[in-house]
Amino acid sequence: AFPWLPLSIFFNCPRPIAPDLEGDLLFLLDSSGSVSYYEFSRVKEFIADLLKLFAFGPHDVQTGVVHISTTPTMEFPFDRYLSTGAVQHAIRSIQQVMGDTNTGKALSFAKDMLFSGKAGARADVPKVMVWVTDGFSTDDISQPMQLLKDMGVTVFIVSTGRGNYLELSAAASQPPEKHLHFVDVDDLTIITKDLRDSIAAKRLRATDISTSSFRLIWPKFLTRETGYYVLEYAPTGDPRRKLTKQLTGDHTSFLVSNLVPQTTYEVALIPESNERYMPPQTTRVTTLEGKTKKEQGPSNGMPSFQSVCLLSTEPISPARVLISDSRPHSIRVSWAPTPDSVSAYQVLYGPLPGNAVKLVEVDGSLNSTILDDLTANTTYLVTVSAIYKSGKEKALSAKACTAEGEEVSMPCTGTKFGDKGGRVVLTN
C-alpha cells in the first residue's frame, strides 16, 4: 500500500495559495452562552485552519468576523488584517462574548457590514458568509437571511449541534448539500478542505492550465433566458491585445486557447443580466512553460505527489460516506454516488493517532466494503478515493470508531456511534 509515501500525503494534501481569488468573506460566529468554552475554542481553530491557504489583501481575500450574542458586535472589519499571519493571530485571539443567541439581529448587522465601505467591504467583489452555529437561535432568521441572499451573498452554514435541518437548509444557499454541513465540533477538520474548495468555487476560476490554453469555470449566474456573458482576456500590461467573446447565459465553462506559454492573462467575465445587476468576475491565469501538468510525472511508474492530490473536474464522487455495522474488529464503509465514469475505489484507512495506513481497492460498480482485522475501541480515519477512467481522483474522509470488545487499546474519541449506527458526512 504505497509504503514509500507518508500518510500525510493522503490525508493532508496541501493546496497552494490562490493568488487570483478575490472576495469579502464574513464569519458569523456563535459567541453566545449556549456555546461552551471548549466548543468555541475548537471553532476558532477550525476557522484559522480554513483560512490558512488564502492570500489576503486589497485585491485578494478580505475577511471579517461578527459575534452572535445579545447584541451583535464586530470583532474586526474586512480591511484590518491583510496578511495570512495577521489573520491567523487575530482569529486565535478572539474572546467569547456570551449572552443570548440573537442570530436574526446578527444577520441584519452582517448585511450592513458586507456592503459598508466603513467596514472595509468592496463593491463588485463576491460576497460569502460562513455561519457557524450550534443550531440554536432565540429570534427569527428567515427574513434577514433572505435579504442577504437576495443581495447576492453566498451563505454556507456549519452546524455543530443538532439544529433544525429544514430551517437550516432553507437558510443556506442552494443546493443545501453543497452549502450546509452537520458535523460534531471535534470532527470539524473533516469538512475543512471541502468547505475551503466550495468557498473558492463561488467565482470564476481556471483549470486544466497548459502551455497554450486553460479552461474557465464559473457558477451558474444566468440562464439562456435571463442574459448572456461577455468574456474579455488579455496579457497583463498589454490591453491592446485584448480579445472579447460573447457567450450565451447557459454557459458555465469555456476553453481559452491559442495562448502564449509562460504568460499571465487578465480575465474578466461580465454577466449581462436582464433581471438585476451582477458584478464582473475576474481572475489572473499564467500559462505553463514547457510540458503541461498532464505530461509531468515520474518515469518509474510510481504515483507522484501531484497525481495523488489531483483535483477532479469529473462528476463528484464520493459525495457522502457512511460508516455502519461497527464491530470490535470490523466496520462497513459505504459511499455514493457511483457514476459510470469511475473505474475503481481505493479505501485508505489507519488508526488515529498513528502513521500506519492500509489500502483496499474496490471495483467501480460497488458502493461498499468491509474493513476487518481492526483494533477494538479505536478511532480510524477512512478515506474513500474515486479513481476515474480518465485517471483523475476525488477523495472524501470520515472518522470511524470500532466497538468495544475483549481487546481494548486506546480510548475511542471523536465521532460517536451507536451499536449499529453510523454518521453521514455530507460535503461539496
Closest alpha carbon to 88 in 56, 110, 127: 56
| pLDDT: which is higher, 206 or 307 | 206
pLDDT at 146: 87
Helices (H), 70-185: 84-92, 103-114, 142-150, 165-171, 176-179
Model pLDDT, residue 201: 63
Query: Of the ranges 16-20, 84-88, 123-127, 274-278, which is most confident?
Result: 84-88
pLDDT score at 142: 87
Per-residue pLDDT at 391 = 65
Q: Give per-residue burial for 361-370: e unless 16+ CB within 10 Å, then b.
A: ebebeebbbe
Residues 191 and 221 in one domain: no
Portion of the chain with pLDDT greater than 70, in percent = 80
Per the model's pLDDT, the better-predicted residue between 361 and 123 turns out to be 361
Domain boundary among 294, 324, 348: 294
The answer to whether residues 48 and 114 belong to one domain is yes
Read off the CATH number of the domain in which 128 is found.
Answer: 3.40.50.410
Average model confidence (pLDDT) for the chain? 78
CA 174 to chain centre: 15
Residue 337's pLDDT band, with cuts at 50, 70 and 90, is confident
pLDDT of residue 409: 39
d(CA 116, CA 112): 6
Whether the link from the prior residue into 353 is cis, omega within 30° of 0, is: yes
SS3 75: strand
**Per the domain annotation, does 304 fall within a domain?**
no
The three state secondary structure string of 208-277 is CCCCCCEEEECCCCCCCCCEEEEEEEEECCCHHHCEEEEEECCCCEEEECCCCCCCEEEEEEEEEECCCC
- The reply to whether 212 and 268 lie within a common domain is yes
CB contact set of 214 (below 8 Å; sequence gap of 6+): 206, 207, 208, 255, 256, 259, 285, 287
Q: Which of 181, 201, 221 is the last residue of a domain?
A: 201
Instruction: State the Cα–Cα distance between residues 91 and 101, nearest whole angstrom.
Output: 20
Per-residue pLDDT averaged across 156-160, rounded?
Answer: 90
Q: How confident is the model at residue 103 (pLDDT cuts 50, 70, 90)?
A: very high
Task: Look at residue 47 in the predicted model and tell me its pLDDT.
Answer: 94
What is the tens place of the pLDDT at every residue in 28-63? 999 988 888 999 999 999 999 999 888 888 888 899
- Tell me which residue range forms the domain holding 54: 22-201
> Cα(367)–Cα(323) distance, rounded to whole angstroms?
12
371 found inside a domain: yes
Lowest mean per-residue pLDDT among 34-38, 216-220, 238-242: 216-220
ω into residue 411 within 30 of 0, thus cis? no
pLDDT given for residue 294 in this prediction: 40
Residue 252 is assigned to a structural domain of this protein: yes
Q: Is the pLDDT of residue 76 over 60?
A: yes
Residue 299 domain-assigned (yes or no): no
Q: Return d(Cα 109, Cα 126) in angstroms, integer.
A: 18
User: Residue 356 to residues 166, 347, 411: CA-CA distances in angstroms?
Assistant: 40, 14, 18
What CATH number has the domain bearing residue 277? 2.60.40.10
pLDDT value at residue 4:
38
Residue 14 lies in a domain: no
331 shares its domain with 225: no
Mean pLDDT across the stretch 256-267?
Answer: 91
397 or 418, greater pLDDT: 397
Mean pLDDT of 194-204: 75
Amino acid at residue number 283: T
**pLDDT greater at residue 251 or residue 341:** 251
Cell output for 4: 514509500
Alpha-carbon distances, residue 171 vs 180, 196, 260, 413 (angstroms): 9, 20, 45, 31
Q: Which of 294, 322, 341 is the last residue of a domain?
A: 294
Q: Are residues 82 and 168 in the same domain?
A: yes
How many other C-beta atoms lie within 10 A of the C-beta of residue 281? Answer: 25
Whether residue 308 is contained in a domain is answered as no
Mean pLDDT across 75-84 = 91
In a domain, 6, yes or no: no
**pLDDT attached to residue 202:** 58
Cell of 345: 475505489
Q: Is the confidence at residue 407, as pLDDT, over 80?
A: no
CA–CA dist 91, 41 (Å, integer): 10
Q: What is the pLDDT of residue 17?
A: 44
The answer to whether position 306 is within a domain reads no
pLDDT at 113 over 70: yes
62 and 171 share one domain: yes
pLDDT in tens, 274-300: 887 777 888 788 888 754 334 344 433
162 band by pLDDT with thresholds 50, 70 and 90: low
The reply to whether 416 and 337 lie within a common domain is yes
295 torsion bin: left (phi>0), alpha (psi -120 to 50), beta (else): alpha
**Do 113 and 65 reside in the same domain of the chain?**
yes
The pLDDT value recorded for residue 104 is 92
pLDDT at 137: 77
Max avg pLDDT among 178-187, 206-215, 223-232, 408-417: 223-232
Lowest-confidence region among 6-10, 107-111, 202-206: 6-10
Judged against a pLDDT cut of 50, whether residue 420 lies above it is answered with no
318 & 396 share domain: yes
Q: How far apart are the first and last CA of the chain?
A: 28
pLDDT of 117 above 60: yes
Is 75 found in the same domain as 37? yes
Strand 243-248 with 393-401, pairing: unpaired
Mean pLDDT of 393-412: 68
**Cell numbers given for 395:** 477523495
Count up the domains in the chain and report the number. Answer: 3
Do 288 and 346 lie in one domain? The reply is no
Residue 313 pLDDT greater than 50, yes or no: no
The verdict on 348 and 377 lying in the same domain is yes
